[in-house]
Structure 1
């Protein structure tokens, strides 16, 4: 998976505003390269799907994780809330038939690589487990892309990862 001995699993935590899915992953690349891999449409298309974005605060995006068709059921859309290259990105996340949630990505140098922190907040209990497995699969695909390996099937990675996300812990301290 990653170039580190870190546990690559995410954590689901119940907070007052919904469930948070949180991942911390280490990648054997520079901050600038990882930023490009998660924000540049040509790079994102190699491991996740076509991305159409106006990369500025207030800009809109559409991430097409199925077919490259506008407004499809597999597309996430939203607004760019934070864009501070190459360190921080936050967007609203709108997925068909779900409430609006938020995704934050932070990057920081860590030894001879870069640590990525991904937080998806405001999730409903019913969808949190799926997002745990889904983000796990996506971050594994990102690792494949960064390592120059063929990117594995999202469906297979999701099926393997999702059972690890059965438990949601309750945070008694409040939002992170």
Structure 2
């Protein structure tokens, strides 16, 4: 993972709740401004040739209502697609429960405001699991946004997000991952204090 994007643009973090096909879900929300126009950001998020460079090439019927699969076995359906502002997909990792990912884009002069919403019924999905090599969703999606920014800035990735596990991170990247994980824990604690906890979503 390239070091120049280890300190990417600040990320706004919050939580919410959302009804998805798998049930009543906890939703994490990431907000960030990317220094590229909306058309370029949309292409980076949806063009298979672009995704191949930093995530892994999606295969399948890549249109609204179609299904996709990534090289790491992640699969899902394209639920909504409104270029260049909205993309919603279901998201199931191998052996995992189905979640939903929704990305909103808004043009801000020559920049793009991106809001990423990830909702899952799995408890504690946003935090690190010390017994697993899987990405925790909180810092994981922040690193995803780093990769989007890096790709748009011309970075060439030796490894895509699909083959990197958090346990393989070292040095500054590992420090950043742990720092972001701790920020998500604090954000969740603050959110819980402001909202009545729902059983199974704490």
Q: String of CA shifts for 1:123-154, please: whole Å, max 9, x gaps.
A: 42232221011101111111111111344865
Give the Cα–Cα distance (whole angstroms) in 2 for the partners of residues 95 and 49 of structure 1: 14
Q: Which residue of structure 2 aligns with residue 133 of structure 1?
A: 139
Aligned-CA RMSD value: 2.8
Do structure 1's residue 30 and structure 2's residue 29 form an aligned pair?
no
Runs of 4+ in 1 over 6 A off after TM superposition: none
Do structure 1's residue 143 and structure 2's residue 143 form an aligned pair?
no
Q: CA deviation at 1:99?
A: 1.6
Distance 1:22 1:151, change over 3 A: farther
Q: Does structure 1 retain, via aligned residues, the 8 Å contact 2:16–2:28?
A: no
Q: Which structure has greater strand proportion?
A: 1
Distance 1:9 1:150, change over 3 A: farther
Q: Does structure 2 retain, via aligned residues, the 8 Å contact 1:58–1:80?
A: yes
- Give the alignment's TM-score, normalised by structure 1: 0.78
Count of residues paired in the alignment: 163
Do structure 1's residue 160 and structure 2's residue 166 form an aligned pair?
no
Q: Unpaired runs of 5+ in structure 2?
A: 19-23, 128-135, 198-202
Q: String of CA shifts for 1:93-123, please: whole Å, max 9, x gaps.
A: 1112222111101111012211111100124
Do structure 1's residue 10 and structure 2's residue 34 form an aligned pair?
no
Give the Cα–Cα distance (whole angstroms) in 1 for the partners of residues 174 and 12 of structure 2: 12
Do structure 1's residue 96 and structure 2's residue 86 form an aligned pair?
no
Q: What SS is found at the alignment partner of 1:97?
A: coil
Distance 1:61 1:140, change over 3 A: same
Distance 1:172 1:58, change over 3 A: same
Distance 1:14 1:29, change over 3 A: closer
Q: Look at both structures and tell me which one has the larger radius of gyration over its CA atoms.
A: 2
- Give the alignment's TM-score, normalised by structure 2: 0.69
Q: Does structure 1 retain, via aligned residues, the 8 Å contact 2:37–2:109?
A: no
Give the Cα–Cα distance (whole angstroms) in 1 for the partners of residues 174 and 121 of structure 2: 18
